[in-house]
Amino acid sequence: MQTEWCMTELQQALLIFAIGAVVTLTTVIMIARGHARWHGRDPYDDPSRAASHD
Amino acid sequence: MPLLITSPTIATAIATALATAPAPETQWLLPANLFRLVVVGSVIGLTVATLVIVLIWLKEWRQGQVW
Amino acid sequence: MTEAPLLDAGIAWFLLVAFSVLWIALGVWWGKRGKGDADDYLLAGRNIGLALSTATLMASWVTGNTTLAAPEVGYTLGLWGMLGYALAGLGLFLFAPLAIRIKRLMPTARTSGDFVRLRFGRVCWAVFLLITMAYTLGFLITQGMGAGLLLQALSGFDYRLGMVCVIGVSTTYTLFGGMRGVVGTDFIQSLLIMALLVLVAVLGYSRISVEEVYVALEAEYPSRLNMLLPAGLLFAWNTGLFSMGEVFHNNIWWSRVFASRPSVVFRSFILGGLAWITVPIVTGAIALMALATNLEVPQVNMVFPLITAELLGSGGAVVVFIIIFASLTSTLDSLLAASADLIAEDVVAHWLRPGISDAQIRQAARLVVVGLGLLTMLLSWQYVTSMFQLLLFTGPLVASTIWPIAMGLYWPQANRQAATAAMVVGTITGLLAYVLVAPYCAALVSAAVSAAVMGLGSHWNPERFDWRLLAGR
């Protein structure tokens, strides 16, 4: 399927680079939040359950 | 030009992209000092990593904690 | 491949026999240590220290591709090739926090399949097993074919002879040594690879300085220094996401978590990642010397052996042989051991023959090691150029597992239907992107779509998972 693009090859590459950076950064943030959520806590003692009891 | 690469391997895909792409209008060449930093830094990093693993092994071996 | 081999056949035979005997002897010796139960065979007794843990991560992640494809992309794409390839270290770094969680949450588990089955149920587990089997088989075959081709190019060996030798040696010491043999040999192999790469880089750059290489590249090949090179920009994040998918899902890395002492798990992945990212940059920098010296490179994937032999003579060819032989065997042994664990534990013990004893699981793992070794030889018998493309095709498969695995470890809301859908839809869209847009986008599209499906599915229909269900096996 050949489609005419208005973007130059460099612009396309920069767009995909930026999307890749966003996906990677989002994944890093999710992991960092998850790690912080469980840091120093019993592995089975879920903070969300504790919060709902409070 | 559509971004369509269907060559059999990544090597040929990259080679095709390089061969068919016109010279990029915008270039940002890495300065010589940063290039030096990348090359020398990686070699120093690999040397340090090798030494660190050996030193950790020595320490663990003395304490009987290798396995 | 008609070019003259870089290494004299007699020297090549000596090196092949010497290192084969060494790895097998060490594997057998280490295999006799320990209690001899299934945990010992599959996970080296679950108590390995920081040095061995870090070194085995390094050795497993330095594959035949790292010593050949990384210099190749350094040669063709320059700095972006080297830095983009180095982004594959992200997988190891980001797995470090997950590894602690896995170790604390699942103290008796043995495989990544154990987690997926207990956390997301059997449907998701079946999808996961399909993905990981397809990936592992592709990975095994490319390493087997790489072994045959390399020994042929380096030493003039027949393709099949080299392929059978390398797979045969790895299979033999994995069979007798189990994970203990794999981890022990990985330690020596990783140190050999690292020390010899430093030697080649230092000797090489003492013949032609960094400044001379830069001046030559600036004058003749400026694209190699261009940080806005489109092909390089496309390459970068795809590698990072592919590596995350590989490390997050594959039992190679999960088995290292289970095999290591709890106190060293986090540090070993960080240290292993730090050590590993230097390798593609160093090998890429070595390949840049080929451009600077205008070395004729008839086959671009042979640039690393060619420039090393050119700069360091026959000694260089010996060093390359050792580096590549160590890279291939250390990856093959890890793949064989971890896949055998997965098949014995997940397919045999939890599916085909539930309730079998520990001794039978151990025996099943040994049979699977042999079976996988033979299957790899069989599938690598005929060299097919499109096999490397098959491995690239697996990028979307593994990238679709990133979010289901990570979210499933941290968030009780992570929903099992969403996890299954994320893997299936991520894989399909990633493969479509591979064919319709570009191979470089495949892992990226797969990761993005699977993240959206996993995140939204869990938000709309949150599960209330009881983490204690993961305490068993």
Q: Which of C57-66, C205-214, C285-294 has the lowest mean pLDDT?
A: C57-66
**Whether C293 and C438 share a structural domain:** no
Asked if residue B16 has pLDDT above 70, the reply is: no
Q: What does each C-alpha distance from C445 to C114, C334, C358, C398 come to in angstroms?
A: 27, 29, 41, 12
**Whether C345 and C419 share a structural domain:** no
Of A9, A23, A44, the CB nearest to C451: A23
**Whether C345 and C322 share a structural domain:** yes
Asked if residue B4 has pLDDT above 50, the reply is: no
Percent of chain C whose predicted confidence (pLDDT) is above 90: 60
What is the pLDDT, as a whole number, of residue C430?
95
In angstroms, rounded to a whole number, what is the distance separating the alpha carbons of residues C466 and C27?
Answer: 41
- Decide if C58 is inside a domain: yes
Provide mean pLDDT across the span C17-23: 94
* Eight-state DSSP code of residue B23: P
Size of interface A-B (CB pairs under 8 A): 16
User: Band of the pLDDT at B6, cuts 50, 70, 90?
Assistant: very low
Q: Which of A5-14, C393-402, C438-447 has the lowest mean pLDDT?
A: A5-14
Output the six-digit token pair for C138: 């592709």
- With contacts defined as CB-CB under 8 Å, which chain B residues touch C202? 43
Find the chain B residues whose C-beta atoms sit closer than 8 A to any C-beta of C: 3-6, 8-11, 13-15, 17-18, 21, 24, 26-30, 32, 35-36, 38-40, 42-43, 45-47, 49-50, 52-54, 56-57, 60, 65-67
- Decide if C151 is inside a domain: yes
Mean predicted lDDT score pLDDT of chain C: 90
pLDDT, greater one: C63 or B9: C63
Provide mean pLDDT across the span C412-419: 96
- What are the tens digits of pLDDT across the range C98-113? 999 999 999 999 999 9
* Eight-state DSSP code of residue C379: H
Q: Do A2 and B4 touch (CB under 8 A)?
A: yes
Specify the residue for token string 């060490």.
C26
Task: Determine contact, residues C444/A13, Cβ cutoff 8 Å.
Answer: no
User: Band of the pLDDT at C335, cuts 50, 70, 90?
Assistant: very high
DSSP letters for C307-344? HHHHHHHHHHHHHHHHHHHHHHHHHHHHHHHHHHHHII
What is the pLDDT, as a whole number, of residue C234?
84
What is the pLDDT, as a whole number, of residue C387?
53
Residue type, C382: Q
**Is the complex ipTM more than 0.85?**
yes
- A33: closest CA of chain C, how far (Å): 9
DSSP letters for C75-141? HHHTHHHHHHHHGGGHHHHHHHHHHHHHHHH-TT---HHHHHHHHHHHHHHHHHHHHHHHHHHHHHH
- Decide if C393 is inside a domain: no
What is the pLDDT, as a whole number, of residue A48?
76
* Eight-state DSSP code of residue A40: T
- What are the tens digits of pLDDT across the range C136-160? 988 888 888 888 888 888 888 888 9
What is the pLDDT, as a whole number, of residue B61?
94
**Whether C215 and C174 share a structural domain:** yes
Output the six-digit token pair for C401: 């597992």
What is the pLDDT, as a whole number, of residue C215?
94
User: Band of the pLDDT at B23, cuts 50, 70, 90?
Assistant: low
**Whether C210 and C344 share a structural domain:** yes
Measured CA angle at C31 (ends C26, C34), to 5 deg? 130
Residues C351, C352, C357, C363, CA torsion sign: negative
Task: Determine contact, residues C229/A17, Cβ cutoff 8 Å.
Answer: no
- What are the tens digits of pLDDT across the range C349-399? 888 888 888 889 989 999 999 999 999 999 988 876 555 566 667 899 999
3-state secondary structure of C48: strand
- Decide if C473 is inside a domain: no
Percent of chain C whose predicted confidence (pLDDT) is above 70: 97
What CATH number has the domain bearing residue C63? 1.20.1730.10
Q: Which of B31-45, C54-68, C236-250, C403-417 has the lowest mean pLDDT?
A: C54-68
User: Band of the pLDDT at B2, cuts 50, 70, 90?
Assistant: very low
Asked if residue A51 has pLDDT above 60, the reply is: no
**Whether C231 and C128 share a structural domain:** yes
What is the pLDDT, as a whole number, of residue C168?
95
Number of folded domains that form chain C: 2
- With contacts defined as CB-CB under 8 Å, which chain C residues touch B43? 198, 201-202, 205, 278, 282, 285
Chain C segment 360-419 residues within 8 A of A by beta carbon are 402-403, 406-407, 409-413
**Whether C174 and C300 share a structural domain:** yes
In angstroms, rounded to a whole number, what is the distance separating the alpha carbons of residues C430 and C450?
Answer: 9
Residue type, B10: I
What is the pLDDT, as a whole number, of residue B10?
45
Asked if residue C454 has pLDDT above 90, the reply is: yes
Residue A9 sits at the chain B interface (C-beta within 8 Å)? yes
**What are the residue ranges of helices labelled H in chain A?**
9-38, 47-53
- What are the tens digits of pLDDT across the range C267-303? 999 999 999 999 999 999 999 999 998 888 887 878 8
Residue A6 sits at the chain B interface (C-beta within 8 Å)? no
- What are the tens digits of pLDDT across the range C168-203? 999 999 999 999 999 999 999 999 999 999 999 999
What is the pLDDT, as a whole number, of residue B8?
35
Asked if residue C25 has pLDDT above 50, the reply is: yes
**Whether C338 and C415 share a structural domain:** no
User: Band of the pLDDT at C461, cuts 50, 70, 90?
Assistant: very high
Total Cβ atoms within 10 A of residue C158? 11
**Whether C171 and C105 share a structural domain:** yes
- With contacts defined as CB-CB under 8 Å, which chain A residues touch B6? none
Nearest residue of C to residue B38, measured between CA atoms:
C281
What is the pLDDT, as a whole number, of residue A1?
52
Asked if residue C1 has pLDDT above 90, the reply is: no
Q: Do B5 and C235 touch (CB under 8 A)?
A: no
**Whether C143 and C267 share a structural domain:** yes
In angstroms, rounded to a whole number, what is the distance separating the alpha carbons of residues A8 and C5?
Answer: 44
Strand partners, B29: C226
User: Band of the pLDDT at A2, cuts 50, 70, 90?
Assistant: low
User: Band of the pLDDT at B3, cuts 50, 70, 90?
Assistant: very low
Q: Do A9 and B25 touch (CB under 8 A)?
A: no
- Decide if C470 is inside a domain: no
In angstroms, rounded to a whole number, what is the distance separating the alpha carbons of residues B10 and C76?
Answer: 11
* Eight-state DSSP code of residue C263: G
Structural domain span for residue C420: 400-464
Of C90, C410, C468, the CB nearest to A37: C410
**Whether C306 and C445 share a structural domain:** no
- Decide if C299 is inside a domain: yes
- Decide if C189 is inside a domain: yes
Pick among A5, A12, A30, A31 to test the C interface (most C CBs inside 10 A): A31
**Whether C340 and C423 share a structural domain:** no
Closest to C443 in 3D by CA, of C408, C393, C388: C393
Pick among A6, A9, A14 to test the B interface (most B CBs inside 10 A): A9
- What are the tens digits of pLDDT across the range C302-318? 888 888 888 888 888 89
- Decide if C471 is inside a domain: no
